[in-house]
Structure 1
Amino acid sequence: MSGLHGIYEKYSRLTPKQRAIADFVLAHPEEVCYLPLKQLSEKAGASEVSVLRFCRACGFDNYVQLKEAFRHRNGEKLRSPVRPAFIQGESDKGGAGRTRLHRLQQICEAEISNLTSMMDALNADDLYACARLLMKANEVLVFAHDGSMIFADYLCYRLNYMRIKAVSVKLGDQTSVQATLARLSKNDVVVLLSFPPYYRPVHDVARYARYRDTPVITITDSVESPAVIDEGITFICPTATQFYYNSHVATASFINILASCIAVEMGSRYSEILAEQQSIGDFMSSYGAAWRAESRATGDKTWQDESIER
């Protein structure tokens, strides 16, 4: 079953418990797409068996079909024309007020268009293959220029969190670029972020990486980018905007999607990483609290300076 109309059509014939489940899933459509059966049943205040019976009562063979229906619904909603909430009820504004609201709506719609175009172009096989490639890399070298460095650092942050060694390299810093290229091996991965105005020497970095048999992943806005090479993997993140060179809504979202695919591929290892992070955080918090308490007791004012620095 591809749609959710079964829930609405059969709502009046559902049991009270099933109606409560229906109310929950209809009120939280985004959560339903990704929640495991156990977690959804807990949030809905029902047993797993009750949720499965609800699925069958609404025409779904199982819980997976229900999730797929909500994913389809959310995808259609994302791709449908959007009228931002701030526009609603503003039709009575006139003159300059209406013009400014219209321009703001155009800006928001352009952002949504970039995001949906990126998602439409995604290929699941390519994404998961890229995730596995990054996971097995000895080191991931992320090259970027100017404003794109923000997203190079963000990608490195995501990868390092998942225990994948990653370093950002600023194109244009010739010494750093050459030193990085000198240590490339076929067991590393090079990631190139390239957006207008293009930094043309990025093409030389791509070609040299392939010369060293190092896999190349390119994240860019167009196949015409100088960072795109035939032997590499390319992901397109449109960045068109009216007022400046790039709007990176799609770029940031792609990095999150790629990182999520890595987490999926890691399986139980990712759960271990989360536990490690929690353990370290707990230790640091308890140690810091104990140190501040001891400092207060001994009259040491250093803890106050440390708090101010934070």
Structure 2
Amino acid sequence: MLQRKEGNAMNVIERIQEKYGDMTRKQRVLADYMLENPDSMSFMTMKNLSGRTQVSEMTILNYCTALGYGNYNELKYEFRKYINERNKIEVQRQNEYLNASVPEYELDDKQNLLYQVCQEEFDLLKLLFAHIDIPSLFQGAEMMLDADCTVFCARGVSLQIADFLSMRLATMGLPSIVMNTELNDSVQSALPLLKGGTLLVPISLPDYYVMTTKVCEFARQRRCRILALTDSKEQSPVAPFGDLVLTAPASSRLFLNSPGGLLVLAHLLSAALNIEKSARHTSKFCSPQEFSQVFTKKMKGSHGNSKIF
């Protein structure tokens, strides 16, 4: 049983810190890595941890026991629990921007204020189209066509763009899933797909989310190709991981970001995808047609009538 602290069970970070003084040299190597990389620990395999720290798997298992956990899976569970609790605290701490009110001095002329917002949105789109890179859109389309599967990785407003692109791929017979990086189960279920042949598409707008970035880091280790959709090559933390980075401006005065530009960019990417797909004469993308045949196939019943199953 874990000790109690002020009536509440210690989280895994507190537990490691409490035991640190009594650890062996190799256990401290493990502790230092875990304290510096709590997000990665929530999904890292024991083999990967062993490789990262140059500590044997048996030592890792013994360390789990020393911390009071029955096995490595229990340790990972505690890290997932810690990350979930930390994220709840972060959301509460950052909630002021979610509920931010418009300053009083801006409310004297509400219609003019909204007109200004419209103009700013229009200017964002003008900026997008002024710098649109058509060859890069086709390059992104080719990455999707060549992938065995596309994994979209997003949260918040960006998640809606991921759902939109996944729907577009579905209509073209291309396999994809959407990973919500705010949901641990969603992350865990998609991780096995991150391997050679898979394309990861992180979609990231401010405020940039650490788990989206960590998934990119993990995908790079697994030799996935990465097509990043974001607002800035210089500022976005997912940009350095991208084999290709497509950007759209997203600044907004009333909210943390505006998804309009990135949604238009996603639409143009899907248009390039449709054009490129149409130019390829292959049976790779015929699953929707094959599935429709299941419903249109006629089976003769009594009196020569057709039945549809």
Structure 1 length-normalised TM: 0.54
Q: Structure 2: how far apart are the matches of 1:188 and 1:181?
A: 11
Q: Which residue of 2 aligns with 1:68?
A: none
1:256 aligns with 267
CA distance in 2, matches of 1:187, 1:205: 16
Indicate the residue corresponding to 2:178 in structure 1: 168
Q: Which residue of 1 aligns with 2:119?
A: 109
Shift of 1:168: 0.4
Which of the residues 193, 200, 215 maps onto 2:210?
200
Superposition pairs of residues 176-255 of structure 1, within 5 angstroms: 176-223=186-233, 224-255=235-266
- What is the CA–CA distance in structure 2 between the aligned matches of 1:279 and 1:159, rounded to whole Å? 16
**Residues 170 and 176, structure 1, Cα contact 8 Å, conserved in 2:** yes
Deviation of 1:264 (Å): 1.3
Corresponding residue of 1:142: 152
Contact 2:168 2:270 in 1 (8 A): yes
Q: 1:266 is aligned with what amino acid? A: K
State the distance in 2 between where 1:197 and 1:204 align: 15
Shift of 1:283: 10
Residues 166-195 of structure 1: CA deviation (Å, up to 9, x unaligned): 110110222331332233222110000111
The one-character-per-residue Cα deviations of 1:16-40 (angstroms, maximum 9, x if unpaired) are xxxxxxxxxxxxxxxxxxxxxxxxx
Question: What residue ranges of structure 1 are gaps of 5+ in the alignment?
Answer: 1-95, 288-310
* Within-5 A mapping of 1:257-276: 257-267=268-278
Q: 1:182 to 1:150 in 2, by over 3 A?
A: same
Task: Work out the number of aligned pairs and report it.
Answer: 193
User: Tell me, what secondary structure is at the counterpart of 1:243?
Assistant: coil
State the secondary structure of the residue aligned to 1:201. helix
Q: Which runs of 5+ in 2 are unaligned?
A: 1-105, 299-309
Q: Structure 1 stretch 157-166 or stretch 193-202: which is displaced more?
A: 193-202
Q: Contact between 1:121 and 1:236, CA under 8 Å: does it hold in 2?
A: no
Q: Is the 8 A contact 1:206 1:229 kept in 2?
A: no
SS in 1 for 2:263: helix
Shift of 1:256: 1.0
**Matched residue, 2:166:** 156
Amino acid in the other structure paired with 2:269: L
SS at structure 2 position matched to 1:140: strand
Residues 255-282 of structure 1: CA deviation (Å, up to 9, x unaligned): 1100110111122569x99999799999
Tell me how far 1:148 sits from its aligned partner. 1.7
Give the residue type in structure 2 aligned to 1:113.
Answer: D
Contact 2:138/2:276 (<8 A) preserved: yes
Asked if 2 retains the 8 angstrom alpha-carbon contact of 1:111 and 1:249, the reply is: yes
Q: Which residue of 2 aligns with 1:304?
A: none
CA distance in 2, matches of 1:153, 1:232: 22
The CA distance in 1 between the partners of 2:119 and 2:273, in whole Å, is: 30
Aligned residues: CA RMSD: 3.6
Secondary structure, counterpart of 1:267 in structure 2: helix
Closer/same/farther in 2, CA of residues 194 and 268 from structure 1, 3 Å limit: closer
The alignment partner of 2:210 has SS state of: coil
| Pair 283,165 (structure 1): closer, same or farther in 2 beyond 3 Å | closer
Question: Contact 1:222–1:238 at 8 Å: present in 2 too?
Answer: yes
Q: State how far apart, in whole Å, the 1-side matches of 2:285 and 2:215 are.
A: 35
Give me the whole-angstrom Cα distance separating, in 2, the residues matched to 1:190 and 1:165: 12
Task: Give the superposition deviation at 1:160.
Answer: 1.1
User: Letter of the aligned partner of 2:139 in structure 1?
Assistant: A
C-alpha deviation, 1:98, in angstroms = 9.5
Change (3 A) 1:100 1:162: same
**Structure 1 residue matching 2:138: 3-state secondary structure:** helix
| One-letter code aligned to 2:132 | L
TM-score, structure 2 normalization: 0.54
Q: Report the Cα distance in structure 1 between the residues aligned to 2:107 and 2:150, rounded to whole angstroms.
A: 49
Matched, 1:126 2:133: no
Cα deviation, residue 104, structure 1: 2.4
Tell me: CA distance 1:282–1:101, structure 2 relative to 1, closer, same or farther (3 Å): farther
**3-state DSSP of counterpart to 1:225:** coil
Q: Give the fraction of aligned pairs with identical amino acids, expressed as a percent.
A: 22
Q: CA deviation at 1:101?
A: 3.6
Which residue, out of 88, 110, 115, partners 1:100?
A: 110
